[in-house]
Amino acid sequence: MHWPVHAFIGKGMSEMKRIRMLIGGDWIGGDGDEWLPVVNPSDGTQIAEIVNGTAEHVDAAVRAASEAFESPEWKAWKPHERGNLLIDLARHIREHAEEWAELECRDVGKPMSQARADAEAAARYFEFYGGAADKVMGDTIPIEDGLLNATVLEPMGVTAHIIPWNYPLQIIARSVGAALATGNAIVVKSAEDTPMTAHALAEWFAESPLPKGIYNHVTGLGSGAGAALSAHPGINQITFTGSVPTGISVMKSAAENVVPVTLELGGKSPNIVFADADEEKTLDGVVRAIIQNAGQTCSAGSRLLVQEDYKEEFLSKLKARFGELQVGRGVDDKDIGPILNKRQFDRIMERIEEAKAQGKLISGGHPVKVEGGEGGHYIAPTIIDGLDHDCPAAQEEIFGPVLSVFTFSDAEDAIRLANDTEYGLVAGVWTKDVDVAHTVASRVKAGQVFINNYGAGGGIQMPFGGYKKSGIGREKGFIALRNYVQVKNIAVKFGI
């Protein structure tokens, strides 16, 4: 299944002024609607505007998805045809990788090299789930002679995908790829701050042979369109990435309709550094884990636990590394880009000031002025030592380039500290001692544990999700396909 590609990305970004919603194959949004500005975080300039979607818009999108899901046209699509469509989308992203990366860079503010990595990751998700589409299989179960018992995996129906602002292209790809591969109809609600690549994907799907209504994109505020989507009785499954309070609200809404949820709600992830660790690799890993996307990453390594005999030496070298980092506009591809907006910036700076009053500032901790980015908000990468482990900076997700440092004596102490938060998303363990590495990995309460590396969420094939308040369920890899199917058991009695 192949077709010409004429989506927005291939036409040039300058053409897009207004982002309309895709509902039932139609572009929705006009002068009678409320429009919200979309701003480039690097310089504060407006780059687009979106429809502030309403409950009525959401209802129309869900109804369109439901009708399309039940249509004979969609039921006639074979699994491998769904897979071919996703693989063609992966090919399209790679063919226009620089344009996708530039769009994500302008939208989110992240450095171009990180945006390029996001574009490739999105292509890999669509490729991976495209290849998996015809490999989602049930089982036969031996019961007794004369009884053929089998399970089949059927699509959930209409799945809702509520996307965060920090990695829109990647996170749409990882959940929509799995949902479409398994035959569901889709309603995406993009973040109001970063809808650009979400819209470009909607344009691609609109011009593909996909039946109208199978892929829908609604825009607007989370309190409006997002809340209406999570509460809609026509939704059969919800995938949400975002904050714990909003995740709780989504889960409560889903409970009213007895709808399953997949929630990824952030973390306060530790890098645990033992005295025998490979110093250069560990320094590189610790730095990358906290500066990616200016620390605006759910899996950021925001806590550093260092063995006491090694702490001063390691911290001195880490401070030197931080001092070499450059802050700048996304398009200039420095190490650290801008904070999303003033609200996020103020929140991060408030936490930094609290931490400075309670602990010892090692590096950073102040705003940065960037030439050409006067309308943006930038923060120097920050290291703070000497905090009590129960203070807010040690326990709460700051979502910025802020690293809190703590000391442990031995493996037991490290495990205790690592687990002493309400989160459990990712952990890194740095040591050459295989016994220590595996012992710590087996006892840290985190959905992903990296030994002598730190994947910041990991690869396409790696199951990703958290313990405790980091969420429910797993995304990525084959296991994520189970989020979007339900099991039907069929028992056939036979005999002569």
Indicate the residue type of 252: K
Q: What is the pLDDT of residue 248?
A: 97
- The length of the chain, given as a count of residues: 496
- If asked whether residues 250 and 380 sit together in one domain, one would say no
* φ/ψ of residue 262, rounded to 5: -120, 115
In a domain, 494, yes or no: no
- If asked whether residues 329 and 394 sit together in one domain, one would say yes
Indicate if 154 belongs to the active site: no
Identify the CATH number of the domain in which residue 291 sits: 3.40.309.10
Q: What is the pLDDT of residue 460?
A: 94
In a domain, 446, yes or no: yes
- If asked whether residues 23 and 167 sit together in one domain, one would say yes
Q: What is the pLDDT of residue 456?
A: 53
CA 448 to chain centre: 15
Phi-psi region of 310 (alpha: psi -120 to 50; beta: other; left: phi over 0): alpha
- Dihedral sign, CA of 142, 147, 148, 154? negative
- If asked whether residues 292 and 249 sit together in one domain, one would say no
- If asked whether residues 310 and 231 sit together in one domain, one would say no
- If asked whether residues 259 and 274 sit together in one domain, one would say no
- If asked whether residues 338 and 300 sit together in one domain, one would say yes
At 32-76, the pLDDT tens digits run 999 999 999 999 999 999 999 999 999 999 999 999 999 999 999
- If asked whether residues 81 and 134 sit together in one domain, one would say yes
- If asked whether residues 288 and 261 sit together in one domain, one would say no
In a domain, 3, yes or no: no
Range of the domain at 360: 270-459
Indicate the residue type of 257: N
Per annotation, catalytic residue among 49, 264, 397, 475 = 264
Identify the CATH number of the domain in which residue 174 sits: 3.40.605.10
Tell me the pTM.
0.95
The residue ranges of the chain whose pLDDT is under 70 are: 1-16, 456-458
Total domains in the chain come to: 2
Contacts of 42 (CB under 8 A, 6+ apart): 106, 109, 329, 330, 331, 337, 338, 370, 373, 376
- If asked whether residues 275 and 260 sit together in one domain, one would say no
